[in-house]
A and B are shown apart, each in its own frame.
Chain A
Amino acid sequence: MINCVLMGMHALTLRLYPKRFRLEFGEELRETFACLLDEAGTHGAVLRVCWHEAYQYPRSVMRAYQHTLARHWQQASEKELATVRWMTRGLSLFVLWFLVTVAWQGVTKDVSPQAVPLVLMSAITAVCISIAWWREHIGGWLTMHTSLSMGVVLFIVATSQQGSEYVANYFLAYFLYIVPSFITGSLFMSLSKAERNPRSLA
C-alpha cells in the first residue's frame, strides 16, 4: 500500500523534469525506483530511499534543465547563441542594478543589524555576476550559489521579524533579484556548457 503511494508521488515528481528527459528516461526512472522500494522492505529502509530521492531531487531537476538548454544551444547557430548571450547579459545588468542599489544603501544609510548579511550577500552576488561576464562557467556557478545563500539569509531575516511589511519586502526581494539572480547564473552556466568544449557535457 505504502509503496503504491510512494510510486504515485515519485511519478508526480517526474513531471517537473524537462519533457524530453521524461520521455526518454521516465519509464526507467519508475522501474528503478520500484526496484529500490522492493529491495528496501522495512519502513526504515524505505524512508532512507525516499530521503535520498528527495534530497537529490532539486539538483537533478536543475541539472536536467541545464543539460537540455546546453544541448539545445549546442545545436544552435553561433548567431543564435550570441543573441542568447546578450539577452542573458541584459538580464544580468537588470539584476546587477538591484543588487548594487541594495549594497549601496547598506553603505550610505544606517541599516538594521539583521539587514547586514543581506547587504553583504547582495554585494558578493553583484561581484559574481560581474565575473560571469568574463568567465561564464565559474561566474555562473558562483552567482547561482550566492543567490541561493541570499535566499536563505533573507528567509531567516524575514522569519525573525514581525509585521506584514517585512513579509511584503521579503516577497518583493525574491521576485526582484533573488530569483532573477539564480536564473542569470543558471543561464551563464548553460551558455558556458554550450560552448564546443569537449568536457562541456561531462
Chain B
Amino acid sequence: MTTDPETFLPLTETTLLILVALSTTPKHGYAILKEVSTLSDARITLSTGTLYGALERLLDQQWIERIEAEQNERGRKAYQLTNLGRDVLKAEMQRMEQVLRQARLRMAGATE
C-alpha cells in the first residue's frame, strides 16, 4: 500500500470531518458523532451505520487505529489517528488552503 498522502486526495467531507474530530484526542463512536456535528454546524449528522462504515474503511486504510479506552470510559473502544492519517489530514489541509488562496486572489481581482 502506498504511503504518499497526496495520492489519497481529495477526501470526502465525512472522512475529512472524522479525521479532524480525531486530530486532538482519541474518541469513541458517540464522541466522534457529536464532534462531526459540531464541526459542521449540525449540517452533517451521521447515523451510527454511516459512522462505523467510515471507521471501518479508515481502519483498513490504516489512517486510524483502535485503542482500548480507559476503565472510566466504560471500557469502550476508542479511535485515534495514525501517523499516516495525520499526514493525509495535513496534506488535505494544505490542498484546501491552496485552493482558498487561489480563489481569494481571483475574487479580489474580480471586485477591483
Contact residues of A with B, CB < 8 Å?
10, 17, 21, 24-25, 28-29, 31-33, 35-36, 52-53, 55-57, 59-61, 63-64, 67, 71, 198-199, 201-202
Contact = CB atoms under 8 A, between A and B. Distances in A.
User: DSSP class of A's interface residues: helix, strand, loop or mixed?
Assistant: helix
A55 B47 CA distance: 9
A198 B8 contact: yes
Contacts, number: 77
Contact of B56 (A25, A36, A61): A25
B91 interface: no
A39 to B, nearest CB: 8
A53 B48 contact: yes
Nearest to B4: A198
Contacts of A198: 1-2, 4, 7-8
A198 B8 CA distance: 7
Nearest to B49: A60
A57 B8 contact: no
A29 B28 CA distance: 11
8 contacts: A32-B48, A35-B30, A36-B30, A56-B47, A64-B49, A67-B53, A198-B1, A202-B61
Contacts of A31: 29-30, 76
